[in-house]
Amino acid sequence: MKVYNTLTRQKEEFIPREEGKVKMYVCGPTVYDYIHIGNARPYVVFDTVRRYLEYKGYDVTYVQNFTDVDDKIINRANKENSTMEAISNRYIEEAFHDADGLNVKRATVHPRVTQEMDGIIAMVQELIDKGFAYEDNGTVYYDTKKFPEYGKLSRKNLDELIAGASERVTIDDAKKNPTDFVLWKPKKEGEPSWTSPWGEGRPGWHIECSVMAKHHLGDTIDIHAGGEDLIFPHHENEIAQSEAANGCQFAKYWLHNGFITVDNEKMSKSLGNFFTVRDIAAQFPYEVIRFFILNGHYRSPINFSRDLMQACQNGLERIKNARKELDFYIKNSADTKMTAEENTQAAELEKYKEQFEAAMDDDFNTADAISVIYELVRFSNIAVKAGVSKEYAEKIQDMLDHLCGVLGVAELKEDAVSDEETAKIEELIAKRAEAKKAKDFATADAIRDELAAMGITIKDTREGVVWERNA
């Protein structure tokens, strides 16, 4: 299995530090609002990476944080006459709601910055003691000149950064160098604060992830991941802090997902093309959002549009319909064993698994993996129409469920329908069949409408009527 490492700018064979185990840290959201479609991409992408690593047999410790102290959270709290804690708790719950909808597995641990203050203060002090940081009137800065490898992840030259200071390199007279960044900042009026050796204050953004990764995963981790917008300065600064403090490599592999544009334009509130996951979920099911994200390679930019979402919804329905038809066929077929010919063909089912794994082993190419699933769907549809044995249909079904499960897509949920309601539905379907047989199409249509009002969709197939509860 090969992964593209941002640090080396090439695909590398994936070899974790400890055999059979993977330590993985993914930067999570700042919780002051609902997560947007840009936030959703790393959620889905790296959840899928984790799923595939687990599928390959690795024991994955997966850490994804919540930033619950930040200027944006404080501003939101002040605006709503609330508290930072209340705001962050609310939007952590909302983030979990959206993540659950996207079928994202909960992390092994979801640390919060406010729970890590002792560790943050300890690492800042360690950086001062080792000569990598300095204090000025209650503000502690990291001295980038003291870390010779600064810029190795982003490939940014320190002198060029200093000469051309950008929006991500702020000028401050108290800094020794323009690229130095804040580790600890003094308290402002009306802001929450914590006691430290440098006075009341709170941490800078970058130190938080260094500490949470160290606390829950150790000094060196296998994979650090996030959006490509975090490469500089956030991940660059994490490396500088962690490697200076711990005296060893921070992360072996760095994975970054590409941006999401909206109708081929950068997402922006001012352009009116800023969408939360909740906004999109009001028009398309969460599962379609996940499927849309996985239809592109994670490192490539992808474009969000309603037309593309509709296309993804149609594609997902093709897969789910194939799965439903298999299920119906199996339930209504005689308990027949595979023929000699089917035994030979069944062995060929493995080629779909092999092709799927080849795609995922090549830097988690979910787009190609989905193409393999489509090929299997086409094969399944032909096989069912040909009237294969029940045993063979079950093998096809198992393979389809197997591949879809790795990606967390097209998973059929059990309908929460009582026995009594099921009996009523089946009775109405039987009456509709009688009406159609008698060419009483008005009654048949009325029964279909009655079922629809109950939230039940029916579909006439070659094998009979298939019904399901609407999502």
User: How many other β-carbons are positioned within 10 Å of the β-carbon of residue 331?
Assistant: 10
Task: Write out pLDDT tens, residues 253-264.
Answer: 999 999 999 888
Q: What is the pLDDT of residue 417?
A: 63
CB 24 within 8 A of CB 60: yes
Task: Write out pLDDT tens, residues 199-220.
Answer: 999 999 999 999 999 999 999 9
Task: Write out pLDDT tens, residues 153-199.
Answer: 999 887 777 655 444 556 677 899 999 999 999 999 989 999 999 99
| Domains of the chain from N-terminus onward | 2-257 (3.40.50.620), 314-407 (1.20.120.640), 419-469 (no CATH)
Task: Write out pLDDT tens, residues 18-56.
Answer: 999 999 999 999 999 999 999 999 999 999 999 999 999
Q: What is the pLDDT of residue 409?
A: 97
Three-state SS at 173:
coil
**DSSP type of residue 144:** G
CB 101 within 8 A of CB 95: no
Q: Which residues have C-beta within 8 Å of that of residue 207, sequence separation ≥ 6?
A: 120, 123, 124, 183, 184, 241
Q: Which residues have C-beta within 8 Å of that of residue 225, sequence separation ≥ 6?
A: 24, 25, 26, 27, 42, 45, 46, 49, 254, 255, 256, 257
Task: Write out pLDDT tens, residues 56-109.
Answer: 999 999 999 999 999 999 999 999 999 999 999 999 999 999 999 999 999 999
Average pLDDT, whole number, for the chain?
93
Amino acid letter, residue 433: A
Average the pLDDT over 380-396 and give the result: 93
Q: d(Cα 125, Cα 130) in Å, to the nearest integer?
A: 9
Q: d(Cα 400, Cα 353) in Å, to the nearest integer?
A: 9
Amino acid letter, residue 273: N
Task: Write out pLDDT tens, residues 124-150.
Answer: 999 999 999 999 999 999 999 999 999
Three-state SS at 63:
strand
Q: How far is CA 104 from the centre of its chain?
A: 6
Residue 309: pLDDT band by 50, 70, 90 thresholds?
very high
Q: What is the pLDDT of residue 7?
A: 98
Q: Is the peptide bond prior to 29 cis by the omega test (within 30 degrees of 0)?
A: no
Amino acid letter, residue 228: E
Q: d(Cα 209, Cα 26) in Å, to the nearest integer?
A: 9
